[in-house]
Amino acid sequence: MTQFEADFDLENDATEEPLVPDGNYRGAITKVAFYEEAQNLKFYITLSDNGGECTDGQTPIDGAVIPYNVWFPRSGDKDEMTASGRQSKWQWKVNNIKKVAEALGINMQNTEAISQGIADSEWVGIEVTVKVGTNEYNNQISNQAESVEAV
C-alpha cells in the first residue's frame, strides 16, 4: 500500500487562496529574478506596515508577497502591434521599462545595467508603494501588482 505522510480530505481541506483586497499598499522589494524563457523580470514585493486582513478575514496583509512583472522585448516584437494597434510590442515594452526605472529610481538603461542590478541585488530593499489588483487566468483569481513606485 502507498504510504502518504499526511492525510487530507479535499471536501474539508481545500480552500480558496486568500487575496489582498485591491488598493495601494506599502512594502519593499525582497527579491528580483529574471526569467529567460518568458523574457520577464519579476520584482517580488513583500507588504509591510499596512494592517488589515486578506479576503478570508484572518490572513494578515502584511507578509503577503506580490510579484510585479516587467516584460522585455523579443526579436519579433518590432513587427507585432499591441492590442490597441498604436505601437509595436517592442516599443510598448521599452517604454514600460523606462516608466518602471523612473518610478523606482533605478538604472535600467540597457541589458548590461539590468544584468548588473540583478547580480548585485541593487534593487532589493527598495521601499515602495504598490497598487494591488486581481487577475483571472484559467478560472483562477490571484493578486497582481498593477504599478509600483519608490517612496
pLDDT digits over 60-103, tens only? 999 999 999 999 999 999 999 999 999 999 999 999 999 999 99
Chain CA centroid to CA 147, Å? 9
| 1 pLDDT higher than 90 | no
Strand positions, DSSP E, the chain: 23-35, 40-47, 65-71, 127-137, 140-150
Backbone region of residue 23 per phi and psi (left: phi > 0; alpha: psi in -120 to 50; beta: other values): left
Q: Which residue has the cell 518590432?
A: 78
How high is the pLDDT of residue 91? Answer: 97
Over range 121-127, report the average pLDDT: 98
| 126 pLDDT higher than 90 | yes
d(CA 107, CA 87): 24
| 134 pLDDT higher than 90 | yes
Residue 20 burial by Cβ neighbours in a 10 Å radius (0-12, 13-18, 19+): buried
Q: What pLDDT digit, counting tens, does each position of 9-54 carry?
A: 999 999 989 999 999 999 999 999 999 999 999 999 999 999 999 9
Gyration radius from the chain CA atoms: 19
Kindly state the cell numbers that stand for 98.
Answer: 523606462
pTM of the model: 0.91
Kindly state the cell numbers that stand for 71.
Answer: 516584460
Dmax (CA) of the chain: 61
How high is the pLDDT of residue 17? Answer: 92
